[in-house]
Structure 1
Amino acid sequence: MAALGPWPGAGVPVAVAVSGGADSMALAVLARQWRPDVVGLVVDHGLRAESRREAEQTISRLSALGMSAHLLVLAGLERGTRMAERARRMRYAALFAACREIGALDLLVAHHAGDQAETVMMRRRAASGDDGLAGMALATPMLDVRIVRPLLPFTKPALYATVRAAGVAWVEDPSNADLRTERARARQALAQDGELDAALKTQALRAGQARMARDRADAGWLAIHARFHPGGWVVLPAGLAPPRVLSGLVRVVGGHDYPPDRARITLLAHAAQPATLAGVALMQWREGQWLVAREEAAMAPRMPAVVGCVWDRRFVLRARTLPPGCEVGAAGPVAAWWPHAWGRPAWPARVLRTLPALWLGGQVVAVPHMGVCRMDWAADAVFANHPPQPMLPGMLFGGTQGNLVGRVS
Structure 2
Amino acid sequence: MDVKAIREQFPILHQEVNGHPLVYLDSSATSQKPRQVIDAVNAYYKEDNSNVHRGVHTLGSRATDQYEGAREKVRRFINAASTAEVIFTRGTTTSLNTVAYSYARANLKAGDEIVITPMEHHSNLIPWQQAAKATGATLKYVSLQRDGTVSLADVRETVTENTKVVAITHVSNVLGTINPVKEIADIAHQHGAIMVVDGAQGAPHMEVDVQDLGCDFYTFSGHKMCAPTGIGVLYGKQKLLEDMEPVEFGGEMIDFVNLYDSTWKELPWKFEGGTPIIAGAVGLGAAIDFLNDVGMDNIIDHEQRLADYTMEKLRTIDGISIYGPEERAALVTFNLDDVHPHDTATVLDAEGIAVRAGHHCAQPLMKWLDVTATARASFYLYNNEEDVDRLVDGLLKTKEYFGDVF
TM-score normalized with structure 1 length: 0.26
TM-score normalized with structure 2 length: 0.26
> Which entry has the higher C-alpha Rg, 1 or 2?
1
